[in-house]
């Protein structure tokens, strides 16, 4: 696990300096309007920071990861850790504090702080909640969500979606982003038993001994595929939405155990409290891996079904992922948001062909998804 803490002050100074001496925006493609150059002709003056069209926003997205270590969130290695995420949240808040803050929403079973990042105007009338890495081994979703956040902040004034500036979108729709909904599970998958306090390790070892394996597997390999939290509860099977009906594993294990009762886990309770604390959550976006598919149907009533499917369809069109219309219920966060709170909620599965996504997939996943947040804001402003 790398540690870039000694570099942090240096990085901060460089970023602050570069934002002080902001370079002028390069001229647009040949033939594009040069109205911003005109002066003294009586024409209204253009804003100091022209809003890019979608092609230029896309070029900036490609630029940001052309060198994977550029910027704040490092996307050059796959094992994006809880420590890195925490440090990146601090740095983003220090550099882009005008449009971003973060805070605790609770504590995980093993005592890690659960963080939410707040992007945009906290007084906006609409909110969107984003949850990533609710399954331990799916930590690339945390890295992706953090990079999306960085991108929106870096290009807050210039970037645009469908002709509307990011600034205008995030002024009207505020994002509450939980990049690592299950930090203990992520660290178990990355660092194994050592990542947990000693008194929590015997339960995990017991899971290894009792869980049925399709083929012989070492403890380290078993843990690298871990999805549950530190108590062997699959957090995305722990929500109070048709929880009784879910056909759970009989007890704690790496996945599919729904817990002793609905919302038994502190991580679940923190998400429920976050969503219930916000005045008008218009969507919940759950990011998972893998499969390049989108789930939206949990048997919601007709109006809600149409609303959710429309959103899922917009994401499918943008990403090229397959829209799955078949009904799916598994006591998940999206089931709960939809069935218990009436909030459109979709589950997006990034990546393909590997349960542990290699970093080599990041660039293509990035280009499919870098603007999911502005897309979501634009979608719910229009509907
Ligand atoms: Zn998952």
Candidates 328, 324, 332, 335; CA nearest to 293 is 324
User: Phi and psi at residue 200, in whole multiples of 5°?
Assistant: -95, -5
Spatial CA neighbour of 140 closest among 322, 354, 326: 354
In the reported structure, the alpha carbon of residue 53 is separated from the centroid of ligand 1 by a whole-number distance in angstroms of 34
The model's pLDDT over 110-133, given as tens digits with 9 standing for 90+, comes to: 999 999 999 999 999 999 999 999
For residue 289, give the nearest of 232, 236, 343 by alpha carbon.
236
Stretch 20-30: mean pLDDT, rounded? Answer: 37
- pLDDT of 11 over the 70 cut: no
Q: How far is the CA of 134 from the centre of ligand 1 (A)?
A: 7
Per-residue tokens: 20 = 């002080």
| Gap from CA of 290 to ligand 1 centroid (Å) | 7
Share of the chain above pLDDT 90, in %: 84
Between the CA of 299 and the centroid of ligand 1 the distance, in Å, is 20
8 pLDDT more than 70:
no
Q: In this structure, is the dihedral angle defined by the CA atoms of residues 161, 180, 137 and 207, taken in order, positive or negative?
A: negative
Please state, rounded to an integer, the average pLDDT across all residues of the chain.
90
Q: How far is the CA of 236 from the centre of ligand 1 (A)?
A: 8
Nearby residues of 63 by Cβ (< 8 Å), 6 or more positions away: none
> Which H/E stretch holds residue 107?
strand 100-107
**How far apart, in whole angstroms, are the C-alpha atoms of residue 261 and residue 244?**
9
- Taking the C-alpha atoms of residue 59 and residue 41, their distance in angstroms, rounded to an integer, is 32
Q: Give pLDDT, residue 297.
A: 97
Give the distance (Å) from ligand 1 centre to CA of residue 172: 30
Q: What is the pLDDT of residues 47-90, one digit of tens each?
A: 566 899 999 999 999 999 999 999 999 999 999 999 999 999 99
Q: How far is the CA of 22 from the centre of ligand 1 (A)?
A: 40
Is the per-residue pLDDT at 34 higher than 90? Answer: no
- Beta strand 100-107 with 113-119 is antiparallel
Q: What pLDDT shows up at residue 215?
A: 84
**How many angstroms separate the alpha carbon of residue 356 from the centre of ligand 1?**
11
Whole-model pTM: value is 0.89
């Amino acid at each position: 696990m790398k540690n870039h803490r000694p570099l942090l002050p240096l990085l901060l100074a460089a970023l602050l300096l570069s934002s002080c001496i902001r370079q002028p925006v390069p001229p647009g493609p040949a033939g594009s309007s040069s109205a911003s150059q005109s002066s003294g002709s009586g024409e209204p003056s253009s804003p100091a920071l022209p809003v890019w069209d979608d092609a230029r926003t896309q070029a900036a997205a490609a630029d940001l990861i052309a060198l994977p270590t550029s910027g704040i969130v490092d996307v050059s290695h796959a094992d994006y850790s809880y420590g890195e995420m925490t440090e990146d949240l601090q740095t983003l808040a220090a550099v882009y504090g005008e449009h971003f803050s973060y805070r605790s929403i609770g504590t995980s079973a093993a005592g890690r702080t659960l963080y939410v990042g707040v992007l945009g105007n906290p007084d906006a009338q609409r909110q969107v909640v984003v949850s990533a890495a609710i399954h331990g081994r799916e930590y690339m979703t945390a890295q992706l969500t953090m990079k999306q956040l960085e991108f929106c902040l870096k290009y807050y004034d210039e970037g645009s979606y469908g002709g509307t500036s990011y600034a205008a979108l995030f002024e009207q729709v505020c994002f509450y982003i939980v990049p690592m909904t299950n930090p203990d599970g992520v660290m178990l998958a990355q660092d194994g038993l050592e990542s947990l306090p000693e008194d929590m390790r015997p339960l995990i070892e017991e899971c290894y001994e009792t869980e049925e394996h399709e083929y012989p597997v070492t403890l380290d390999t078993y843990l690298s595929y871990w999805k549950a939290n530190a108590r062997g509860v699959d957090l995305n099977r722990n929500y109070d939405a048709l929880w009784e009906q879910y056909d759970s594993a009989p007890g704690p294990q790496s996945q599919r155990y729904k817990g002793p009762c609905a919302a038994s886990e502190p991580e679940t309770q923190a998400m429920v409290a976050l969503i219930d604390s916000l005045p008008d959550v218009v969507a919940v976006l759950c990011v998972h891996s893998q499969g390049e598919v989108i789930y939206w149907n949990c048997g919601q009533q007709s109006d809600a079904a149409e609303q959710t499917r429309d959103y899922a369809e917009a994401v499918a069109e943008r990403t090229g992922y397959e829209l799955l219309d078949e009904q799916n219920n598994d006591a998940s966060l999206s089931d709960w948001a939809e069935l218990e709170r009436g909030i459109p909620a979709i589950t997006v599965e990034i990546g393909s062909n590997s349960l542990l996504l290699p970093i080599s997939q990041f660039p293509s996943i990035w280009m499919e998804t870098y603007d999911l947040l502005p897309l979501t804001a634009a979608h719910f402003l229009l509907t």
